[in-house]
Structure 1
Amino acid sequence: AARQWLEPVEIKHLLEAYDIAMVPTYAAADVEQAVTYAKEIFAQGGTVVLKIMSRDITHKSDVGGVVLNLTSPEAVRAAATDILARARKLRPEARIGGVIVQAMVVKAKARELILGLADDPTFGTVVVFGRGGTAVEIINDKALALPPLDLQLARDLIDRTRVSRLLKAYRDVPAVKHDAVAMVLVKLAQMAADIPEIREFDINPLLADETGVTAVDARVAVGPPQRKFAGSGPANFAVRAYPSQWERRLKLKEDWRIFVRPMRPEDEPTIHEFLRHVTAHDLRLRFFAPMKEFTHEFIARLTQLDYARAMAFIAFEEASGEMVGVVRLHSDSIYETGEYAILLRSDLKGRGLGWALMQLIIDYARSEGLKTISGDVLQENTVMLDMCRQLGFEVKPDPAEPEICDVRLKL
């Protein structure tokens, strides 16, 4: 429909899709429809809030466009008539769609927060968190983060604001429910990845207390997606999200079932355990040197990936849940060539896993638009060299280091 803003009921459906609670909300085109919706709320024992519905009036309170604590149909009729008349007088150029009818939420000890998404010209989509309410611009207590977010990153974002201190218990005010606000931030970041047509998103206020969180008001601007960043990730993310589309279930020789997924930072303990099952000889073939210990810093460099530049697929045996292999690819700075490496559990070699992982990383490199996959392989690693030849790699001795072969596959 070439609209720039979602209607209030559309926003409520969007929040429901991500399990973000919002007060009951209805869009009334005129006064009598507002009274009809209000009667539904009264029948459930609630009171009513009316708000002006206009895509052109960002701050409803500026035009007296919010009336609280309405308890009868007559009061709703009078308030709706007054709100519409006042808005048309103060903002004659604004498009008035009617009034929003909502159930009144009274939470005396709730904190008013603002959460949302914004479009930064340099960094693309950013997640916003801060103190909300009508004085949000004056207080100016906000922080920004780049999506995607997990719970820890969401907590870090919250902690960078002054209002974070109010989320804890003080005097007779209980603490806000643990991670309730952080989870909404995670969901907003996921929403931005799922729906690149969202250009702006404000929830203000989000009421937060010991029982959880409730969105009272929100606005969503939409438009055609704009690709700011190259690659296959979300077009508007400076940091590429976890690529769940590359998760695979493989069936190898003798009905050996394997689950493969991209590596995540929390895989560090799994990597340590996996390396205990790799012989010193196989470790030397992989790292070109004897490896006696693996430090936290070393493993962190392997597990903390920028998915826009690197990928590692980690393989698990479905029956035991144990890690059995890993293959990785790291691109050069101009994103033309990727260097691969592969390592399998020494006691489970010869069952087709290496072949399957190599095919998967080749498919990934093609999908990313890389032109070549390369690698260094020791001359004595005859099994790897044979597999490379079968996969179509060109194998040449390295003129500078005779004990190493350069293997290269044009994609």
Structure 2
Amino acid sequence: MKASVHQAPGKKVDDGGRDLTTRTGLTFHVRPARPDDEAALADFFRHVTPEDLRFRFLGGLREVSHERLVAMTNVDHRRTENLLAFAQDGKTIIATAMLACDASLDKGEVAISIRAEYKHRGVGWEMLRHVARYAQAKGVQTLESIESRQNHDAIELELEQGFVAESYPDDATLVLIRKHLS
């Protein structure tokens, strides 16, 4: 990662990550995913509600496949990054924020998932702020998210952080949420 990526607020640590604290006082550690995180990420998705799995992957699935887990842990760290949030035990993943950018790094798409027992504690809010700062430090101009219109919590959170909602082309069940970072 570029050194400028580490300019976002939070305590810098040796693994390229940092500690973040939510408005509720919950502190957690965020760092980029590594190939050896696959088993922990699989366990994480077993603790995400079925509805949140549907919202995250925009379709019905009961379990995240090995292929998807590999794609989320073996990223290029230039155009794609998967930021993992860990509980204070350092082992339990409590959230993931995937950022996928176009080839020019002008536009990035974010997708966030939160472990069920950590919802409504400010984790999603801090993860979105963190990934937006991360994307901006990489030079990304526009951050987007594609949401199910039924995902009211995520849409509300994004709107509170300055994103703007618009209709998604050719699919009335989805909404495009966009924020210009520059």
TM-score by length of 2: 0.88
Query: Contact 2:99/2:108 (CA < 8 Å) preserved in 1?
Result: yes
Deviations 1:378-408 (A, max 9, x none): 1010111111111111101114101100011
Q: Which residue of 1 aligns with 2:74?
A: 304
Cα deviation, residue 254, structure 1: 4.4
Residue 11 of structure 1 is matched in structure 2 by none
Q: Pairwise CA RMSD of aligned residues?
A: 1.9
Question: SS state of the match for residue 291, structure 1?
Answer: coil
Flag the structure with more relative contact order, 1 or 2, with Cα contacts below 8 A and sequence separation at least 6: 2
Matching of residue 354 in structure 1 with residue 131 in structure 2: no
Structure 2 vs 1, CA of residues 308 and 244 (structure 1 numbering), >3 Å: closer, same or farther? farther
Distance in 2 between residues matched to 1:285 and 1:265, nearest whole Å = 25
The equivalent position to 2:95 in structure 1, one of 325, 334, 340, is: 325
Tell me by how many angstroms 1:300 deviates.
Answer: 0.4
- Report what 1:373 is aligned to: 143
1:338 is aligned to 108
The residue type equivalent to 1:339 in the other structure is E
Contact residue 45 and residue 63 of structure 2 kept, 8 A:
no
Consecutive unaligned residues in structure 1, runs of 5 or more: 1-230, 234-242
In the alignment, is the contact (CA less than 8 A) between 2:147 and 2:174 conserved in 1? yes
Spell out the pairing of 1:248-259 with structure 2 (5 A cutoff).
248-259=18-29
- Rg larger for: 1
Report SS of the residue matched to 1:387.
helix
Letter in 2 for 1:376: I
Return the match for 2:54 from 284, 290, 293: 284
Deviations 1:1-47 (A, max 9, x none): xxxxxxxxxxxxxxxxxxxxxxxxxxxxxxxxxxxxxxxxxxxxxxx
Report how far residue 333 of structure 1 moved. 1.5
One-letter amino acid of the counterpart of residue 391, structure 1: Q
Q: 2:9 maps to what in 1?
A: none
Alpha-carbon distance between aligned partners in 1 of 2:21 and 2:63, rounded to the nearest angstrom: 33
Identity of counterpart residues, as a percentage? 28
Task: Quickly say closer, same or farther: Cα 1:245–1:370, change in 2 above 3 A.
Answer: farther
Q: What is the one-letter code of the residue matched to 2:70? A: A
1:77-136 C-alpha deviation (Å, 9 max, x unpaired):
xxxxxxxxxxxxxxxxxxxxxxxxxxxxxxxxxxxxxxxxxxxxxxxxxxxxxxxxxxxx
1:403–1:244 CA distance, 2 compared to 1 (3 A): farther
2:40, 2:91 within 8 Å by CA — same for their partners in 1? no
Distance in structure 2 (CA, Å) of the matches to 1:281 and 1:404: 15
- 1:345 positional shift: 0.5
Contact 2:108 2:140 in 1 (8 A): yes
Partner of 2:31: 261
Residues 199-252 of structure 1, C-alpha deviation per residue, up to 9 Å, x if partnerless?
A: xxxxxxxxxxxxxxxxxxxxxxxxxxxxxxxx837xxxxxxxxx9674111222
The runs of 4+ residues in structure 1 deviating greater than 3 Å are: 243-246
Return the letter of the residue paired with 1:316. Answer: F
Q: Equivalents in 2 of 1:346, 1:272: separation in Å?
A: 14
Secondary structure of 2:83's partner? strand
2:40 equivalent in structure 1: 270
Distance 2:169 2:67 in 1: 33
Matched letter for residue 404 of structure 1:
L
Unmatched 5+ stretches in structure 2: 4-12
- Counterpart of 1:390 in structure 2 is 160
2:177 maps to 1:407: yes
Counterpart residue type for residue 20 of structure 2: L
Equivalent residues of 1:244, 1:261 under 8 A apart: no
Shift of 1:253: 4.4
SS in 2 for 1:326: strand
Match of 1:313 in 2: 83
Paired with 1:272 and 1:356, the residues of 2 have a C-alpha distance of 22
Normalising by structure 1, what TM-score? 0.40
Q: Does the residue aligned with 1:255 lie in a helix, a strand or coil?
A: coil
